[in-house]
Structure 1
Amino acid sequence: MALRLVCDFDLRKDVLPGLRARRAASLASGARGGGPGILEDNYESLRILNVERNGNIIYTYKDDKGNVVFGLYDCRTRQNEHLYTFEKDLHVISCSINSERTLLAASLVHSAKEGRKNELQLGSKCLTLLVEIHPVNNVKVLKAVDSSIWVQFLYPQVESHPPPENHLLLISEEKYIEKFHIHVIQEDGNKVVLRDSGHLPRERVAEDFVWAQWDMSEQRLYYIVLKKSRSILKCIQFSANEKFNLMFEAPLDITLSASGFELVNFGCDDLQDQGNLSKHLTLCVFTNHTGSLCVCYSPKFDSWEKITYSVFYFHKGHSKTFTAALGSVDSLVTKGLTFLNLDYYVAVYLPGHFFHLLNIQHPDLICHSLFLTGNNEVVDMLPHSPLQSLSGSLVLDWCSGKLYRALLNQSYLLQFLWNTQLDCEKMAVLHCVLSCGRDPRFLEAKIIQWISENISTCHSFDLIQEFIIASSYWSIYPETSNIDKLLPYSSVLTWNTEIPGITLVTEEITLPFMKVHSFKGYWEKLNSNLEYVKCSKPCLLYNNSMVKREWHSLISEEKTGRRRSMVYVRNIFDNAMKVISNLEARNLEPRLTPLFQEEDYHQRLLIGLMVSELREHLLRHLQGIEKKKIEQMVLDYISKLLDLICQILETSWRTHHLHPWVLHFRRASAAEFTVFHIMTRILEATMSLFLPLPPGFHTLHTILGVHCLPLHNLLHYIDSGVLLLTETAVIRLMKDLDNSENNEKLKFSIIVRLPPHIGQKICRLWDHPMSSNIISRNHVKQLLLNYKKQLCMLLKDMTTWMQNLWRKQL
């Protein structure tokens, strides 16, 4: 399946065996009734309560007396620890522990003997308790109310030194959030107790909200308030310095009820009816390290024929509403939509119906996202139980008690790339595989093999172009997040082909209003993205148009005998040498193809010019980055471009078992025809984007062309510019071909097409009367030109003498 769920924690494997072992030991010792911590036979009460920022998992169960037992699973040591036991028959709503494991906060209600356990009984109280557990000591009541309360300790950014004060969030069903300040002191060695437990300072963080989400990894609180029937998304950032700031406000074009109340990621919320999630809306906020901010929203389902959901790409300034046809009306939707954060992607799936991978870094074109329907096996292989996306790539399955790490399955995606027939899916999977970033050399080799065998099967875009541009982009993307605004991510600018089963509506949205003025880390990147959208600047993506003009200008000057400053030209060739040296240093394996073994003036000129232009482009728009780092990025980027072309050629040669030097002259084999076709496609791809080629490419291409093409086709390719006659290629032709009738025609046809300064040099290498005739004719032509020049100078001197003589006579 496209999504691989790696299980990091399983209640039944990581907790249950230890509990059963404790029970067996207790029974063997003759204990009656089992004692605290003994699990009943059916272990139905064992469930996860919370996952803390450090990865530790709090779980609970009831012993044979009905007492509530709290345990903790340490994700680093993979050991279980007993935390506390309440000797009462209670039901736990929420629980959290501080980073030092000295304080435990829990909200509990009396269990109902009949009916649903999760429902508060009329007149019952919800107790929110703070317990000293290092060692077990006092219990303090924080709240005793009729409404439900959820608790969450804040975790400081630096955990090396215990903070003097702990901070606890209390989230009330009455739509307010409070922050408690809890001072602790140490007594009698390691005994930790509350200081001034009779009075714990607190402050109001948020109120009158209808929805809230907790980001445990980044310590952020997202919540929505209603203002004049408008939904306003707000975000609070909690810092290590005990402060919190309202970071932004953003209007959302969604409808929420003023009487509604929903929490996301505040522990296990089993108060909702998990069996009828399709009756509830789904709303969640996702971010990543590049400064993206996405709000994913799915309203209540009104129809069984199609499902609609929206994604607000605030970092791009627009939203997209997707409508997916379910295909099979007979299978009713009993589960809600699941949104999962996968860094550069958001996975959206409806069990048994569809699976979508939305590209959140580059959402402009729909072809960069992957849409799989229920007919694909990937949908059936995903869990059908509700999943909760935690921070990062963690995914929690409350029903089974499993914590997963969600990863894109590279093996499946590569297999899917080989099997799919749709161009849109080829495009989406190609980018998805490259963005994985795990073992890029292996992935590139697999993709190149696929391109070599499917080079003519794609009609909506150029496979080689797309691979070269996308792979080069991803090779340096992690170095700076702003590079996506300056370097092309795709060779495709527009996409008008419909995606089967998907309709899409794109709308502009109001950008978030930042409430602070000092930004660091993620917030600095988000603010940069928002400012870029606000400025509505023209497209800053680099292209080689300036290089193209300058390159043609230098070539034209070379033909006319005029040259630029030698310093300028030398700098260009120095740039090219840096790229080639950088490329050779990164590739230690010997090459099978004869590339980089000749000067190839034109390609080195193009490489050097691209270095100059790209460096100036990045220096102009990348602020705050060292010049040396930008220069190295440019070298790495252009080296990657050339290396990818070399890899495609290497793969073709190895696949078709060509000799390292294919410069022999006989009838071409089928393998040579295939490689020549691939090289022609590479040339077409690079010419339209005006990208450089490895020096020696044109020589090799021309030699293969001589093998594979009849003379008239060969000359047509030369005249149309598909084959470029390099000095190295022509010299090899003159030396290695004999003087048979056909070869004489070939040599003569090529010589007459050479520039004069190269043609004269080449003719001297051909020991043939035709060559002597050409040399003699050129020599006579030059003598006549010189005689004409001398005659003109003589006539000019005579005219000047006559004019002077006439003036003297006057």
Structure 2
Amino acid sequence: MALRLATRFDPAEDVLPWLRAPRAAAGAGGPGGGAGVLENNYESLRVLNVERNGNIIYTYKDDKGNVVFGLYDCQTRQNEHLYTFEKDLQVVSCSVNSERTLLAASLVQSTKEGRKNELQPGSKCLTLLVEIHPVNNVKVLKAVDSYVWVQFLYPHVDSHPFPENHLLLISEEKYIEQFHIQVIQEDGNRVVIKNSDHVPRQRIAEDFVWAQWDMAEQRLYYIDLKRSRSTLKCIQFCADENFNLMFEAPLDISLSDSGFRLVNFGCGYLQDQEKLSKYLTLCVFTNRTGSLCVCYSPKFDSWEQITYSVFYLHKGYSKTFTTALGSAHSQVTKGITFLNLDYYVAVYLPGHFFHLLNIQHPDLICHSLFLTGNNEVMDMLPPGPLQLLSGSLVLDWCSGKLYRVSLNQSYLLGRLWDTRLDCEKMALLHCVLSCGQDSEFLEAQIIQWISENISAYYSFDPIQEFIIASSYWSIYPETSNMDKLLPYSSVLAWNTVHSAKNYWEKLNANLEYVKYSKPLLHYNNSVVRREWHSLISEEKTGKRRSKAYVRNILDNAVKVISNLEAKNSEPRVTPLLQEEDSHQRLLVGLMVSELKDHLLRHLQGVDKKKIEQMVLDYSSKMLDLICQILETSWRKHNLHPWVLHFNRRASAAESAVFHIMTRILEATNSLFLPLPPGFHTLHMVLGVRCLPLHNLLHYIDSGVLLLTETAVTRLMQDLDNTEKNEKLKFSIIVRLPPLIGQKICRLWDHPMSSNIISRKHVKRLLHYHQKQPQRSMIDKSFSVEFLPLNYLIETLTEIESSNQGLNAFIGHDNVDAKFVEEAALKHTTMLLGL
């Protein structure tokens, strides 16, 4: 099941034991009833409302048929009796104020002959305001021939001990009023209504056909038809007892003949299921990140397909989806259910489909999950009809239970392993990471999936997507603007692949949206790329920017690595972060510098130190994810430290790790992301051991393997001078950068190395030599009958005899004309096989 249902309230466990509790002998007829109460009429117990503070109001009929109101405190998990009407009435709506001193209720008489009200003849619905602390007076607010719903406003400031309460009254006659109820305290704790004969009221809205109450944020959404079109309006009720019209948004839907609908104004009547399946569904979803979506499903015109639309008001466009149900004989017994899951909206039709729409990033359709078929969703939610309440609460009408709905991480991870469609893998990856619960466990599971499917072909790079998405979600809660400033996906456009062709053709045929243009604020590493290449180029030419600038960049890298190591208490088995890799440290430091500047420009008002810490966390998270992928592979294949030695043959396990490292390198190179210091050395060591020489040299020449000083030094020290190793060493030495090559050649005691040193020494000397006629200074006892070599040695000796030549190259070991001649002769002898 893709959804997890956590029981928030179960009347059988949370209320019934309290009603059955033994009473004192004198209190057998008390407010809760006797011990045997509700044995025969337990079905009468039902939830009426869930207030902003989480308290649940419920009703039941006692053994005398009286209507009893009770309250379940979700904090103390205790029940409290509120009021009893000694009449056989049906409750339409109910609400209690935050101090539990006033109860508002709308009731009708429950008779088969008709809904007459004995308390107020001639009216169908009676709305009452009751003083319940203690039980005092009852005031009639409305006595009309239409249904009325009530809802107390809850102040955002909890310290509201009096003197005024505010009550919304919603009439089936399409108007909303607000009552201002002043109360006073008398005789100690007794709370009564002040001036109960005249309760001030004001009109909030009128001529509307649909309204929704947002209990958590105290907002009212409604749609009016004054201008012959559907316009969504939002009213915010404030702590200072005022309200403001926040926005108006036209919706491309028609509600003129849809009837009257309310959402979240308590728990309404159970409607006939067949009518429910044919009725329109409309609801507004918000979350703490500023998302605002309107989900709409019109009345069913056909049993063959169902259409619903999502208006992403925070993005400026909408999408319409049409789902085939199979055949005309596939009767739908329930309507569509929309569920608010924070960053997602779940669209559910029992036995037919389950869609999980990414409302935070709806621009890429591959970030949404579309499951169809009975086997996918048959048992996902309770079989009975569900009523959506505020937030992610749902009410199961059959059992009376309240559930908190959330994504099921275990199911999503299982689907990630089992699904074959790339679009579903992409969506599942983001779903899992967005859950935000036990992120270390989730990341470990995803890394395991990546490691075991590293050779599979995908339409996206799973390593790239994992690094970008997981780094993004690691600091996303810090500020709501992160989705605009940091990349959340490595995929910029989704290209249909053959394996998913039919699925995407059908989906895209029903996809309608209007693009919303906005400036591109997402950070990217293009500036880092240019600056890094510039610094490396300067290093090769011997020029470098100010020491302070470079030192600041390297200090950034030190902070990132220190931050990374501080968050990992367990020692790593992979030999990374142990090398002074100046190039990768430059790249890490540059990314920190550029990312910090980017966020400082766009996160106005956020503390600079907080931004600096966010950047450190983000950068170290990227390095940590790469380390985790390697760590998982290293432990899986049971590798040991001797992998770093060249004098061993590669195993199949080492080849597998080398392949994973190559895939990591491909993923990071295209995004220009830094790698942990030591990565290239380990990659090079494994490459030498795993690849034939011609493949190894191809990898080096194409830039896949980098010749680090540490790796080449190990190679020269570990390998002896067999013919095969000599060929390898020479092939490596001639490809080394000049600065590293000068150091490495002196580590190899071999004619070939001496020859290379000699060539470079001669090149340096002759580069500055100006030929002047001088007598020969050569030691004739050392001369051989080879005139070109004699002439070269004589020239070098002349240069070395001058102070200018010697001073220019002081410190180059003991390289002189004699060394050059010896090296030349040894190399010639080796080549001739003598």
Q: Give the TM-score of the pair, scaled to structure 1.
A: 0.91
Does residue 642 of the first structure (1) align with residue 641 of the second (2)?
A: no
Which residue does 1:488 correspond to in 2? Answer: 487
Which residue does 1:265 correspond to in 2? Answer: 264
Which residue does 1:441 correspond to in 2? Answer: 440
Which residue does 1:516 correspond to in 2? Answer: none
Structure with greater contact order relative to length (CA < 8 Å, sep ≥ 6): 1
Structure 1 unaligned residues grouped into runs of 5+:
511-532, 795-810
Determine if contact 1:451/1:464 at 8 Å carries over to the other structure: yes
Does residue 726 of the first structure (1) align with residue 708 of the second (2)?
A: yes
Shift of 1:215: 0.9
Once residues 226 and 748 of structure 1 are traced to their aligned partners in structure 2, the CA distance between those partners, rounded to angstroms, is: 84
Which residue does 1:696 correspond to in 2? Answer: 678
Once residues 106 and 345 of structure 2 are traced to their aligned partners in structure 1, the CA distance between those partners, rounded to angstroms, is: 33
Once residues 381 and 598 of structure 1 are traced to their aligned partners in structure 2, the CA distance between those partners, rounded to angstroms, is: 51
Determine if contact 2:352/2:377 at 8 Å carries over to the other structure: no
1:114–1:14 distance in 2 versus 1, CA, 3 Å: farther
Which residue does 2:316 correspond to in 1? Answer: 317
Which residue does 2:740 correspond to in 1? Answer: 758
Shift of 1:660: 3.0
Between 56-65 and 327-336, the greater mean CA deviation after superposition: 327-336
Determine if contact 1:91/1:117 at 8 Å carries over to the other structure: no
Shift of 1:661: 4.3
Determine if contact 1:110/1:124 at 8 Å carries over to the other structure: no
Q: Read off the aligned partner of 2:387 and give its amino acid letter.
A: Q
Mapping 1:739-758, distance limit 5 Å: 739-758=721-740
Which residue does 2:536 correspond to in 1? Answer: 555
Q: Read off the aligned partner of 1:729 and give its amino acid letter.
A: A
Once residues 740 and 46 of structure 1 are traced to their aligned partners in structure 2, the CA distance between those partners, rounded to angstroms, is: 89
Once residues 300 and 259 of structure 1 are traced to their aligned partners in structure 2, the CA distance between those partners, rounded to angstroms, is: 8
Shift of 1:293: 0.5
Say which SS state the counterpart of residue 787 (structure 1) adopts. coil
Once residues 683 and 405 of structure 1 are traced to their aligned partners in structure 2, the CA distance between those partners, rounded to angstroms, is: 43
What value does the CA root-mean-square deviation take over the aligned residues? 2.5
1:396–1:70 distance in 2 versus 1, CA, 3 Å: same
Determine if contact 2:116/2:122 at 8 Å carries over to the other structure: no
1:453–1:47 distance in 2 versus 1, CA, 3 Å: same
Determine if contact 1:322/1:503 at 8 Å carries over to the other structure: no
Determine if contact 1:36/1:67 at 8 Å carries over to the other structure: no
Determine if contact 2:258/2:280 at 8 Å carries over to the other structure: no
Which residue does 2:830 correspond to in 1? Answer: none
Shift of 1:388: 2.7
Which residue does 1:544 correspond to in 2? Answer: 525
Say which SS state the counterpart of residue 401 (structure 1) adopts. coil
Does residue 255 of the first structure (1) align with residue 257 of the second (2)?
A: no
Say which SS state the counterpart of residue 376 (structure 1) adopts. helix
Once residues 254 and 285 of structure 1 are traced to their aligned partners in structure 2, the CA distance between those partners, rounded to angstroms, is: 14
Does residue 662 of the first structure (1) align with residue 643 of the second (2)?
A: yes
Determine if contact 2:386/2:396 at 8 Å carries over to the other structure: yes
1:30–1:42 distance in 2 versus 1, CA, 3 Å: closer
Q: Read off the aligned partner of 1:645 and give its amino acid letter.
A: I
Does residue 17 of the first structure (1) align with residue 17 of the second (2)?
A: yes
Which residue does 1:58 correspond to in 2? Answer: 57
Q: Read off the aligned partner of 2:640 and give its amino acid letter.
A: H
Determine if contact 1:393/1:407 at 8 Å carries over to the other structure: yes
1:34–1:725 distance in 2 versus 1, CA, 3 Å: closer
> Deviations for 1:297-332, whole angstroms, at most 9, x for unmatched residues?
001111222211110001011101111222365431
Shift of 1:134: 0.9
Which residue does 1:417 correspond to in 2? Answer: 416
Which residue does 1:6 correspond to in 2? Answer: 6
Determine if contact 1:11/1:402 at 8 Å carries over to the other structure: yes
Determine if contact 1:37/1:69 at 8 Å carries over to the other structure: no
Which residue does 2:99 correspond to in 1? Answer: 100
Say which SS state the counterpart of residue 76 (structure 1) adopts. coil
1:397–1:122 distance in 2 versus 1, CA, 3 Å: farther
Q: Give the TM-score of the pair, scaled to structure 2.
A: 0.88
Once residues 655 and 34 of structure 2 are traced to their aligned partners in structure 1, the CA distance between those partners, rounded to angstroms, is: 81
Does residue 672 of the first structure (1) align with residue 651 of the second (2)?
A: no
1:767–1:19 distance in 2 versus 1, CA, 3 Å: same
Which residue does 2:813 correspond to in 1? Answer: none
Q: Read off the aligned partner of 2:16 and give its amino acid letter.
A: L
Determine if contact 1:91/1:111 at 8 Å carries over to the other structure: yes
Which residue does 2:831 correspond to in 1? Answer: none
> Deviations for 1:443-462, whole angstroms, at most 9, x for unmatched residues?
11111011000122242100
Which residue does 2:768 correspond to in 1? Answer: 786
> Deviations for 1:648-674, whole angstroms, at most 9, x for unmatched residues?
000000000000341122221110010
Q: Read off the aligned partner of 1:648 and give its amino acid letter.
A: I
Q: Read off the aligned partner of 1:320 and give its amino acid letter.
A: K
Shift of 1:271: 6.5
Once residues 28 and 512 of structure 2 are traced to their aligned partners in structure 1, the CA distance between those partners, rounded to angstroms, is: 69
Which residue does 1:685 correspond to in 2? Answer: 667
Shift of 1:20: 3.7
Determine if contact 1:52/1:96 at 8 Å carries over to the other structure: yes
Between 474-483 and 614-623, the greater mean CA deviation after superposition: 614-623
Shift of 1:732: 0.4
Determine if contact 1:167/1:181 at 8 Å carries over to the other structure: yes
Which residue does 2:815 correspond to in 1? Answer: none
> Deviations for 1:419-466, whole angstroms, at most 9, x for unmatched residues?
111111110010011011111111111110110001222421001000
Say which of 574, 577, 580 aligns to 1:593.
Answer: 574
Shift of 1:260: 2.1
Say which SS state the counterpart of residue 183 (structure 2) adopts. strand
Once residues 121 and 128 of structure 1 are traced to their aligned partners in structure 2, the CA distance between those partners, rounded to angstroms, is: 10
Determine if contact 1:310/1:321 at 8 Å carries over to the other structure: yes
Determine if contact 2:209/2:261 at 8 Å carries over to the other structure: yes
Once residues 757 and 4 of structure 1 are traced to their aligned partners in structure 2, the CA distance between those partners, rounded to angstroms, is: 60
Shift of 1:37: 10
1:160–1:110 distance in 2 versus 1, CA, 3 Å: same
Shift of 1:751: 0.1
Determine if contact 1:423/1:458 at 8 Å carries over to the other structure: no
Once residues 644 and 267 of structure 2 are traced to their aligned partners in structure 1, the CA distance between those partners, rounded to angstroms, is: 70
Once residues 25 and 496 of structure 1 are traced to their aligned partners in structure 2, the CA distance between those partners, rounded to angstroms, is: 73
Determine if contact 1:5/1:407 at 8 Å carries over to the other structure: yes
Q: Read off the aligned partner of 2:425 and give its amino acid letter.
A: K
Say which SS state the counterpart of residue 160 (structure 1) adopts. coil
> Deviations for 1:450-508, whole angstroms, at most 9, x for unmatched residues?
10001222421001000000000001110011111111100001114254664564545
1:254–1:117 distance in 2 versus 1, CA, 3 Å: farther
Say which SS state the counterpart of residue 183 (structure 1) adopts. strand
Shift of 1:393: 2.5
Say which SS state the counterpart of residue 213 (structure 2) adopts. strand
Once residues 456 and 419 of structure 2 are traced to their aligned partners in structure 1, the CA distance between those partners, rounded to angstroms, is: 11
1:81–1:318 distance in 2 versus 1, CA, 3 Å: same
Determine if contact 2:7/2:403 at 8 Å carries over to the other structure: yes
Once residues 95 and 424 of structure 1 are traced to their aligned partners in structure 2, the CA distance between those partners, rounded to angstroms, is: 46
Mapping 1:15-414, distance limit 5 Å: 15-21=15-21, 38-39=37-38, 41-113=40-112, 123-257=122-256, 260-270=259-269, 272-327=271-326, 329-414=328-413
Determine if contact 2:19/2:33 at 8 Å carries over to the other structure: no
Once residues 34 and 123 of structure 2 are traced to their aligned partners in structure 1, the CA distance between those partners, rounded to angstroms, is: 28
Which residue does 2:788 correspond to in 1? Answer: none
> Deviations for 1:506-549, whole angstroms, at most 9, x for unmatched residues?
54569xxxxxxxxxxxxxxxxxxxxxx6xx44311111111111
Determine if contact 1:56/1:72 at 8 Å carries over to the other structure: yes
> Deviations for 1:243-288, whole angstroms, at most 9, x for unmatched residues?
1111110101011026721101111221643442121100000000
Give the aligned length. 766
Between 379-388 and 698-707, the greater mean CA deviation after superposition: 379-388
Which residue does 2:553 correspond to in 1? Answer: 572
Say which SS state the counterpart of residue 43 (structure 2) adopts. coil
Q: Read off the aligned partner of 1:654 and give its amino acid letter.
A: R
Between 399-408 and 245-254, the greater mean CA deviation after superposition: 399-408
Once residues 401 and 311 of structure 2 are traced to their aligned partners in structure 1, the CA distance between those partners, rounded to angstroms, is: 30
Shift of 1:101: 0.9
Determine if contact 1:68/1:88 at 8 Å carries over to the other structure: yes
Determine if contact 2:284/2:295 at 8 Å carries over to the other structure: yes
Shift of 1:40: 6.1
Between 671-680 and 606-615, the greater mean CA deviation after superposition: 606-615
1:216–1:652 distance in 2 versus 1, CA, 3 Å: same
